[in-house]
Amino acid sequence: MSTDLYGVHVLEVAPEESRVRFRVYVVYYETGRRTHAGLPDDASFFVCELWRAAEGAPLTWLDPLWMVTTEQICDEGWLSANTHRFVRRIERISTRNHPVPAGNWPLLKDFYYERNGRWTDTHLLVQADFDVHVTDPRHLSALKPGQGWGTTSYAVPSDEVIETEDAVVHLGSPALVLDPFGGEQDDDGTPSDVAFSDDGVFLAVTNQACELVVFRTEDWSEQLRLRESPLWGQDIRWIPGTHRIAGRTIEGVPDTAPGRAFDVDTGTEVDGAPQRPTTPPLLRTREGRKLLDSLSGSHDHAFRPGGEYLVAADDAEFSLWRVEDGELLSRGHTEGEIFRAFAWSPDGETLVASVVTGSQGYGGHFRVYGPGRPEEPEPTTDELRELAAEADPGDALFLLDLIAERETEPAELARLHRDRAKALVHTDPHAAAEALRLSIRLGGATNALHASFDLSILLRDRLGDPDGALEAARTAHGIASGRDLANKKNRAQIARTAVHLADLLRNRHERAGTEEALELYRRAVELDAPKSVAWATLGIGWCLHDLGDEEAAEPSLRAAVEVAGKDAHPIGYAAMLLGGLAKKRRNVPEALTWYQRAFTTDDVHRPLATGHLGELYYLLGERESAVKWYQRMLKATKDPELVAEGCFRIGEFAAADGERAKARTFLRRAIGTGDRKFGAQARELLAGLGS
């Protein structure tokens, strides 16, 4: 387990201002070296803590932060690039004990551990208060003043986005990613140049193999795709005032391209000379000129139309600058990516970047940035379903209700209500039953089959409604029985529903029901469904046993043990029944064998099996073995009848051996169970022992 670096305490929550105030304590020191973890002055740290709080709170609305995975929050690259989505800015508003006063070092410990959201010696700890301004007040829904927790999170340098300049272009998150070349790790998959037509109708892009693709910017649909041509090469420009693509000349490189161009409107080759790069607008101030000089080492840069802003990139970061005063407005970390080229739309509202993403300088795509902060995308229905499948029941119910608001297809709604029933079954079984009934009413044979089967189990196990459980089981089996037997999956469903219906009928202990159950079990065996055959074989023997045909029952019970393989449940039940048959025939050795098999195979049968084993050894006169099994039984069960028998027998042996104190203890315990048979015998024996 990692040692905490910081303690986080919630001081104030102001949803109306989209703000929370945290106090952060440094709780990790190296006092011998007089060093400590630094204060976390980056918004990325607080994204981690907001996520931590959201993860542990029940869902009341769908906070986009809740959609972030553990893998993402632990990925420094992801965190660096996505912090701006959740936190607009942070302000350190006060600092204490920083730097650490010399007199405090002897008093500090190396580690401070959180206890119920608190820490000792807080008056000595390095600490600061931060106002954290979030992009959405929903990010604060899990926070309350007074909360506190320890954390191993640490700050990583994250992209900086100055919210007052969002109207220029938002470099934090692309509004769209275009991937016309597939991102393969070769020239064909590696983006190169990018250019808007003068009217902004088209965007043209190339790859390193000189393939040209033209998009219509109205809907970003692909308009044209052409293989390599000497008309343009990798470097392209639109001929001003036209929809004609030509090559772009590069300063210092002799121009060998033909004086021809390609007309996108007509799809034909036309006259058109290669184009020189556009001249940047006049830099009006000394600061602006200094700015351009400082960016001379960048891979590429581009002025926004009008010249007021400049975007640039190098090996470490891409950034947006205001030219007039050289002010940095936004900075993003490239994390090994290469920004090859930029293009602004004529209206200055869209910026497109050619980005190489592969580690070997190949592969990539084109990112389209727009003004303002992009809205968080709503999760798809499939994404909500995936989240609901992994969530705890309360959160799953919230997510399923969100899906229900979107869904209109009856079959999907029916499946949805089955999922809702699963989320409700342990907290509100009555509501779960209603969800299953609604699912059945919405229709669809497959759905109705599963919902009826689930409803039957719920009514039997949770709501104590055997008649309702039987009715639902008949519905499920009736639907399954109408299916094509040639399909292996259908045969398995028929067998499964037949066995379940037969179990309910057999447990009613009515002759007609037992006889119907016997036929259902036989049908299930005939279907030869691997997951049902052992239990169905057991059911045949069990029904024959209950109907009094013990001679016919025994072969089926033995067969159930053979076909069960490693399935403990049918083996345990069969062994108990076979033990009873052997005991009835006075075949004590065989009875011992079967009860011991039941004892070792299945915990469900352990208490009763030990009781039978104790009784058998008692009948054999093997007192030591009898006492051993009765003692095991007393450890395994609290059933009054079994406890009374075990305590009486042990007390009886103790009395015969002259151990009166031991005898009295067990006999009194037998009497205390209230069991009529063994309690009465214990009372009589205890009276004979005297005081």
Co-location of 151 and 69 in the same domain: yes
Co-location of 365 and 470 in the same domain: no
Distance from C-alpha of 613 to C-alpha of 30, rounded to nearest angstrom: 65
Q: Choose between 521 and 54: higher pLDDT.
A: 521
Question: Is the distance from CB of 6 to CB of 151 less than 8 angstroms?
Answer: yes
Distance from C-alpha of 681 to C-alpha of 691, rounded to nearest angstrom: 17
Q: Is residue 670 part of a domain?
A: no
Percent of the chain beyond pLDDT 90?
A: 64
Distance from C-alpha of 399 to C-alpha of 407, rounded to nearest angstrom: 13
Co-location of 439 and 403 in the same domain: yes
Q: Which residues contact 271 (CB under 8 A, 6 or more apart)?
A: 259, 260, 261
pLDDT of 282 over the 50 cut: no
Q: Is residue 276 part of a domain?
A: yes
Q: Is residue 690 part of a domain?
A: no
Q: Tokens 């390095």 label which residue?
A: 126
Comparing 50-59, 186-195, 254-263, 400-409, the range with the smallest average pLDDT is 254-263
How many CA atoms within 13 Å lie on the side-chain side of 558? Answer: 9
Q: Tokens 């104030």 label which residue?
A: 12
Radius of gyration for the chain, computed over Cα atoms and rounded to the nearest angstrom: 39
pLDDT of 440 over the 50 cut: yes
Q: What is the CATH number of the domain that holds 422?
A: 1.25.40.10
Distance from C-alpha of 353 to C-alpha of 368, rounded to nearest angstrom: 7
Residue finishing a domain among 455, 480, 505: 480
Co-location of 357 and 215 in the same domain: yes
Strand bridging mode 327-333 / 202-207: unpaired
Distance from C-alpha of 603 to C-alpha of 593, rounded to nearest angstrom: 17
Q: Give me the number of domains the chain comprises.
A: 4
Provide the pLDDT for residue 279. 54
Q: Is residue 643 part of a domain?
A: no
Distance from C-alpha of 302 to C-alpha of 146, rounded to nearest angstrom: 49
Q: Is residue 429 part of a domain?
A: yes
Q: Choose between 166 and 453: higher pLDDT.
A: 453
Work out the number of other CB atoms within 10 angstroms of the CB of residue 379: 18
Distance from C-alpha of 243 to C-alpha of 238, rounded to nearest angstrom: 7
| CA quadruple 221, 224, 229, 231: dihedral, nearest 10 | -90
Q: Is residue 169 part of a domain?
A: no
Structure-token pair, residue 187: 């020239």
pLDDT of 298 over the 70 cut: no
Residue finishing a domain among 538, 565, 592: 565
Question: Is the distance from CB of 635 to CB of 603 less than 8 angstroms?
Answer: no
Q: Is residue 679 part of a domain?
A: no
How far is the first Cα of the chain from the last one, in angstroms, to the nearest whole number? Answer: 61
> Residue 525: which pLDDT band, with cuts at 50, 70 and 90?
very high
pLDDT of 326 over the 60 cut: yes
Co-location of 356 and 220 in the same domain: yes
Percent of the chain beyond pLDDT 70?
A: 94
Q: Choose between 132 and 315: higher pLDDT.
A: 132
SS3 52: helix
Co-location of 75 and 38 in the same domain: yes
Residue finishing a domain among 338, 369, 400: 369
Co-location of 36 and 147 in the same domain: yes
Co-location of 318 and 386 in the same domain: no
Co-location of 302 and 201 in the same domain: yes
Q: Is residue 170 part of a domain?
A: no
How confident is the model over 378-407, as a mean pLDDT?
Answer: 85
Provide the pLDDT for residue 377. 74
Structure-token pair, residue 59: 């869902």
Domain of residue 32 covers 6-158
Distance from C-alpha of 92 to C-alpha of 130, rounded to nearest angstrom: 4
DSSP structural state of residue 601: H
Whether the upstream peptide bond of residue 530 has omega within 30° of 0, thus cis, is no
Co-location of 21 and 71 in the same domain: yes
SS3 679: helix
Co-location of 488 and 466 in the same domain: no
Q: What is the CATH number of the domain that holds 556?
A: 1.25.40
Work out the number of other CB atoms within 10 angstroms of the CB of residue 58: 10
The full length of the chain comes to: 691
- Enumerate the β-bridge partners of residue 342: 353
SS3 20: strand
Strand bridging mode 236-238 / 327-333: unpaired
How confident is the model over 460-474, as a mean pLDDT?
Answer: 96
Comparing 317-331, 556-570, 649-663, the range with the smallest average pLDDT is 317-331
> Residue 28: which pLDDT band, with cuts at 50, 70 and 90?
very high
Provide the pLDDT for residue 493. 95
CA-CA distances (angstroms) from residue 628 to 191, 624, 649? 80, 6, 11
CA-CA distances (angstroms) from residue 480 to 266, 452, 552? 62, 11, 30
- Enumerate the β-bridge partners of residue 28: 111
Co-location of 456 and 487 in the same domain: no
Residue 469: name the closest of 480, 482, 481, 453 by CA: 453
Strands annotated E in 248-308 = 260-263, 268-271, 300-303
